[in-house]
Amino acid sequence: MNASNGTARTNIAIRGLIACAGLLLALLGATLSQQLSTSNGDSSVVALVNQQPISIKDADSLALELWALPYNKLSADQRSTAVQLLIDQELLLARAKALSLTTTDPGLRKVMAAAAINQITNNFLQQPVTDTQLREFYQTYGSIFDQPKKIAVNALRLTSKSSIQQAQIMLAEGKNLNHISQSLQLDPVLPPNLLSIPALHRYLGASLVSHIEKLDQDQISLPLQKADGLYYVQVTAIQKARTPSYQTIRQSIKAEYQRRGRDIALSNRLNQLWQQADITTHQPVHNSPVMSSPLINSSVATEGAQ
């Protein structure tokens, strides 16, 4: 009887000791693990402030800013100064976080939201874009890269009887409008280079442009009377509407792909955050419609899952 009692007491004591050991391990385990890792000489950390590491990368950034040198090239005094500065910064940042400054200060909220947007869009931009993806995008959205029809025009605006008579004489002699304009020392009515139809409208107005569109290259129009003078117009070059080849505008295609992809990545992330959040309002609200493109979603899906 006494032996069994003794054994039972021993068992209870052993169980108690094991339980205490487990409890101690659970309470101190995280600290022990961190101390082990730091005592192994974690060279990526220059300091720990309330267990928040200050990395070599942070030290390098500060050293470059202050002395235009990387951290490992600094003197001992400079390193000490840099580390102290970083420690002070971390203390202040931790204090700001404890005071919830970034959630309450309107200016800091804007900066934080902008930084979040930058991170989301930069995560997308860092993803490599393959040639296949760009070609598929170009084939689907090729119309946005179309170059419109352009026309190069010479125009004469004649306001005096004498200039009209002289112009008509030179036209009869077969002179072109450029020659006549120089002879009569007239100011150019519009730039001589290729211009789109909307640009021509801005310079000459709709009625003149409608005549221009009927002319062939080098053809000179009949005299066209407008309120501000008598016009002659001559088409000097025509460039038809065209879609440039993939190779010639590959950079533009990539830029447009990335521009749309950034917007989609941000939209997807916001939708994800909205769906995961607990949102209460007095009136029904919903997140903006998801921007999507079947060609870009495969890329941003990876970003959205991060």
Partner 1 sequence: MKRSDQLSLKLLALAAATGIALGGLEANGWWQDSRSLPTDSAARVNHTEIRQLDYQRALGLMASGKRSPLTAEDRILVLERLIQEELLVQYGIAQDLLRADRKVRSAVLQSVLAGLDVQARAAVKQDSDNGLQDYLIELRNSADIQIGGQP
Residue pointed to by tokens 């003794």 = 6
Question: Please, is 106 exposed, middle or buried when counting C-beta atoms within 10 Å of its C-beta (0-12, 13-18, 19+)?
Answer: exposed
Pick the closer one to partner 1 by CB: 21 or 99: 99
Find out whether 71 and 56 touch, Cβ atoms under 8 Å.
yes
Say if CB 235 and CB 151 are below 8 A apart.
yes
Residue closer to partner 1 (CB basis): 98 or 222 = 98
Closest listed residue to residue 291, CA positions, set 258, 260, 256: 260
**282 is an interface residue for partner 1 by CB under 8 A:** yes
Closest CA relative to residue 57, chosen from 92, 91, 78, 82: 82
280 binds partner 1 (CB under 8 A): yes
Distance CA 219, CA 152 (A): 12
Which residues are CB-neighbours of 129 under 8 A, at least 6 positions away? 254, 257, 258, 299
Burial of residue 180, with CB atoms counted within 10 A of its CB: 0-12 exposed, 13-18 middle, 19 or more buried: buried
Give the SS3 label for residue 96.
helix
**92 contacts partner 1 (rule: CB under 8 A):** yes
Name which of 157 and 269 has its Cβ closer to partner 1. Answer: 269
Candidates 67-75, 145-153, 157-165, 278-286: pick the segment binding partner 1 (CB under 8 A): 278-286
Footprint of partner 1 on 214-273 (CB under 8 A): 269-270, 273
277 scored as a contact of partner 1 (CB under 8 A): yes
Q: According to the binding rule CB under 8 A, does residue 19 interact with partner 1?
A: no
Q: Which stretch binds partner 1 (CB under 8 A): 68-76, 82-90, 169-177, 206-214?
A: 82-90
Among residues 71 and 257, whose Cβ is nearest to partner 1? Answer: 71
119 binds partner 1 (CB under 8 A): yes
Q: Report the residue from 67, 78, 93, 141 that binds partner 1 according to the rule CB under 8 A.
A: 93
Find the shortest distance in angstroms from Cβ 119 to partner 1.
6
Q: Which stretch binds partner 1 (CB under 8 A): 104-112, 158-166, 176-184, 215-223?
A: 104-112
Question: Is residue 45 involved in binding partner 1 (CB under 8 A)?
Answer: yes
User: Least separation, in Å, of the C-beta of 28 and partner 1?
Assistant: 15
The vertex-100 CA angle with 94 and 101, nearest 5°, equals 90
Q: Is 85 in the site for partner 1 (CB under 8 A)?
A: no
CB of 40 to partner 1, least distance (A): 9
Q: Is 95 in the site for partner 1 (CB under 8 A)?
A: yes
Cβ contacts of 203 within 8 Å, gap of 6 or more: 155, 189, 190, 195
> Token pair 């001589």 is at which residue?
192
Is 136 strand, coil or helix?
Answer: helix
> If binding is defined by CB under 8 A, does position 166 make contact with partner 1?
no
Our CB check for partner 1 shows the closer of 123 and 239 to be 123
Task: With beta carbons less than 8 A apart as the criterion, state whether 155 and 189 touch.
Answer: yes
Judged by CB under 8 A, the residue of 81, 87, 136, 145 near partner 1 is: 87
Residues near partner 1 (CB under 8 A): 38-39, 41-42, 45-53, 61, 83, 87-93, 95-97, 101-103, 105-119, 269-270, 273-274, 277-283, 285-288
